[in-house]
Structure 1
C-alpha cells in the first residue's frame, strides 16, 4: 500500500517475485511449485486483504512530473504567485487573474492494474517517460469563473 502511494505500486507478477524473494532471504520453506506463488495463491491473497487492497488501473506519471510536486516546489510557486499579484496590484481585480491547466491524452496507453489501498480513487504509477503520441488540451479560467475557449494541440497541429 505504501509503495502504491509513492507511485511504485506492484502488479500481480511483481508481488509473486517479492514473495519468492522474501522466502529465499528468510530461509523459510517454499511451498510453491517452481518456487513462485501461483494464480490460486494470488487470488487468495487478494481475498484475504480485500478490506485494505484493490487492483486498480494505474495512470502513468512520468518521474519528472512526480518530483515537481514536492512541498518545496509548491511553496516556491505560491511565493512567486503572491509576489506577482502584489507587484501587478491584482488583489482587487479577480477578473484579471487567470489559471491555465494542461492535460495530455495518450492515443495508445498501456493498461496495468496494480495493488493499492482500497480507498485510492486514482492511483498513479511513476514511469521513466511517456513516449506514446498524445493530444494536449489547455483550459484557461479567470478567478471570477470566465472560461476562455480550450486550446487543443493534436500532433503538432493547432485546433481551436
Structure 2
C-alpha cells in the first residue's frame, strides 16, 4: 500500500518585520526602556566600584515598581530570582565576585596618572643610562594574600573583568615578594607569614 504525503509549505517571512519584532514570549513587567536604563545603570555602578548585589537590585526594582504603580505578578511588588535570571539574560549581565583593592591602587589606575608615570620613567631611564640595558632593570612586586575569602557577588556586564571594591588589609596575611629583571632573570621569592 502506497501512502501519499502532502508537503508543508515553508512560510515566507518579511525580514523587516522580524527585525522590528520584540523577543518571543509575554511582554516584560517593566517596559523595555526602563529595563535598559536599569541595566545600563548597573553597568555604570559596577564600573566605578559600587556594584549592586542581586538582593539590592531586586529591592531597587521593587521600589521602582511601587513608585510607578506597575501591575505585577510579583509578591509584595518585589521580583523573584527567576525574573532576575531572565533580566540578566536579556541584558547580557552576570554575577561576579568583587576584588578587594585599596583606594590608592584604584586611584592609580587613572589614565592621566599612568601616562605621567611613563613619561617620568622615560626620563629616569635616560638620566641613569639604562636604555638598552634590560639586565640592569629590576622589578620588585609584593603580593599579600589575606585569609578573608568571603566576598559578595555583584551584577555586572558579561565578558568584562570583575569589579573592584575598596577594602582595608586583613589581619592574617601571607606576603610574597617577587624580584625579576627585564630579561627574565629572577631571584628566589621572599615569603613573610604574619
TM-score w.r.t. length of structure 2: 0.68
Q: Deviations over 1:89-145 (max 9, x none)?
A: 11132110112222221112213222222112x413312434342222221211111
Are the equivalent residues in 2 in contact too, given 1:98–1:142 (CA < 8 A)?
yes
Q: Greater CA radius of gyration, 1 or 2?
A: 2
Separation of aligned partners in 2, 1:137 and 1:93? 27
Are the equivalent residues in 2 in contact too, given 1:109–1:132 (CA < 8 A)?
no
Q: Say whether 1:46 aligns with 2:88.
A: yes
Separation of aligned partners in 2, 1:132 and 1:124? 23
Separation of aligned partners in 1, 2:145 and 2:120? 29
Q: 1:21 Cα deviation (Å)?
A: 2.7
**More contact order relative to length (CA 8 Å, sep ≥ 6):** 1
Q: What is the number of equivalent residue pairs in this alignment?
A: 151
Separation of aligned partners in 1, 2:106 and 2:167? 11
Which residue is equivalent to 2:156? 116
Which residue is equivalent to 2:165? 126
Q: Say whether 1:10 aligns with 2:75.
A: no
Q: 1:84 Cα deviation (Å)?
A: 1.5
Which residue is equivalent to 1:158? none
Q: 1:4 Cα deviation (Å)?
A: 2.1
Name stretches of at least 5 consecutive residues in structure 2 with no aligned partner: 1-42
Which residue is equivalent to 2:20? none
Name stretches of at least 5 consecutive residues in structure 1 with no aligned partner: 156-160
TM-score w.r.t. length of structure 1: 0.80
Q: CA RMSD in A?
A: 2.1
The structure 2 residue matched to 1:34, chosen from 63, 76, 79, is 76
Larger mean CA deviation between 77-86 and 123-132 belongs to 123-132
Are the equivalent residues in 1 in contact too, given 2:146–2:170 (CA < 8 A)?
no
For residue 34 of structure 1, give the secondary structure of its aligned residue in structure 2. coil
Higher strand share: 1
